[in-house]
Amino acid sequence: MPSRHSTLLADAARRLAEAGVESPRVDAELLLAHVTGRTRAGLITLDELDAGAAARFAALLDQRADRVPLQHLTGRAAFRHLELAVGPGVFVPRPETEQLVEWALASLAGVPEPVVVDLGTGSGAIALSIAHEHPGARVTAVERDPDAIEWTRLNAASRAAAGDRPVEVLAGDMTDPLLLRALDGGVDLVVSNPPYVPDGALVPREVADHDPPMALWGGPDGLDVVRGLLGTAARLLRPGGGLGIEHADLQGTALPALVRAHGGWDDVADHPDLAGRPRFTTARRARGGAGGD
């Protein structure tokens, strides 16, 4: 006979599926693991829930069926080797962005103390992952949203307490011509997961209702913020310095074209995510070349 918890999970997954949740069984398991303080694997030995835990699970299930993001309910988001605090007011980091970090770390290989700037850092996922996986990196994380930056600071403090090199968290707009002027021409890498969703695009309810608008919308073609970002990156980077920008899967041609048209960039290329969809554009600051900034 199936255990009581497996029946509970089957019923929960069915309900989430009917509500349109993309990964109903996984989400049900993660919510139950959160309530019981177990890992997903540890649920196999769970016999039954006490009344309090059952009530908490039911309440979380109600919220998830109403399309509140799973990560808002658990308060945590896994990203590469880190677990980050997230909640209302901050963009929930996605697995797709991990590929941008992979490229960034590869581009910094052999540079003992690279200077890195993450523009529009949100939870700090990119900046803190680079600092964690490249202990010599000197990373600055920039965020303009006053609600989101509180999550950045929380996660940065947590990682510093865990022994990672501290990341500087700075309130600022990635398109501001005065941003980080002291670093002009001295940065090895600029990375960004900027707002890139075209105005009016249809997005899942989890995104539309819960991700902060400042992290989502990028103008009619989704690239308005990127246009300003390019000027900032061009000014900050040393000749030969790297640039990596995440984008929507329909912008795999438009964003590289925008970088080329800006001028002063070499080795412009686009890269797919693990699902094979166009996901981020990279470039190198031209050596001795001017343009666009």
Q: Which pLDDT value is given to residue 106? A: 97
Catalytic entry in 93, 114, 155, 193: 193
pLDDT, one tens digit per residue, over 10-64 is: 899 999 999 988 899 999 999 999 998 888 877 877 777 788 888 999 999 999 9
Tokens read off for 211: 């991700």
The residues, ordered by sequence, that sit 6+ positions from 241 with a Cβ below 8 Å of its Cβ are: 187, 188, 189, 190, 284, 285
Helical ranges in 1-119 per DSSP H: 4-18, 24-36, 51-65, 70-74, 98-108
pLDDT, one tens digit per residue, over 78-122 is: 999 999 999 999 999 999 999 999 999 999 999 999 999 999 999
Q: Which pLDDT value is given to residue 152? A: 98
Residue 1 confidence (pLDDT) above 60: no
Residue 291 confidence (pLDDT) above 70: no
Q: What average pLDDT does this structure show over 186-194? A: 98
Distance CA 246, CA 276 (A): 14
Catalytic residue status for 204: no
Architecture in CATH of 77-285: 3-Layer(aba) Sandwich (3.40)
Domain 4-66 annotated CATH 3.40.1210.10: no
Q: What average pLDDT does this structure show over 166-182? A: 97
Distance CA 133, CA 92 (A): 20
DSSP letter for each residue of 219-248: STTS-HHHHHHHHHHHHHEEEEEEEEEE--
Q: Which pLDDT value is given to residue 52? A: 87
Tokens read off for 63: 């919220």
For the chain, give percent helix, strand, coil, nearest 5. 45, 20, 40
Q: Where in the chain is the domain with CATH 3.40.50.150?
A: 77-285
Q: Which pLDDT value is given to residue 82? A: 97
Q: Which pLDDT value is given to residue 254? A: 96
Distance CA 248, CA 252 (A): 7
Q: Which pLDDT value is given to residue 287? A: 83
Catalytic entry in 69, 114, 194, 195: 194
pLDDT, one tens digit per residue, over 119-154 is: 999 999 999 999 999 999 999 999 999 999 999 999
The closest of 101, 88, 178 to 137, measured between CA atoms, is: 101
Residue 190 confidence (pLDDT) above 90: yes
pLDDT, one tens digit per residue, over 55-82 is: 999 999 999 998 999 999 999 999 999 9
Catalytic residue status for 280: no
Q: Where in the chain is the domain with CATH 1.10.8.10?
A: 4-66
Q: What average pLDDT does this structure show over 191-218? A: 88
Q: What average pLDDT does this structure show over 158-169? A: 97
Residue with tokens 């005065």: 178
Q: Residue 292: which H helix or E strand, with range?
A: none
Catalytic entry in 91, 93, 114, 278: 91
Q: Which pLDDT value is given to residue 3? A: 47
Q: Which pLDDT value is given to residue 147? A: 96
Mean pLDDT of the chain: 92
Residue 209 confidence (pLDDT) above 50: yes
pLDDT, one tens digit per residue, over 227-259 is: 999 999 999 999 999 999 999 999 999 999 999
Catalytic residue status for 155: no
The closest of 263, 268, 261, 262 to 283, measured between CA atoms, is: 268
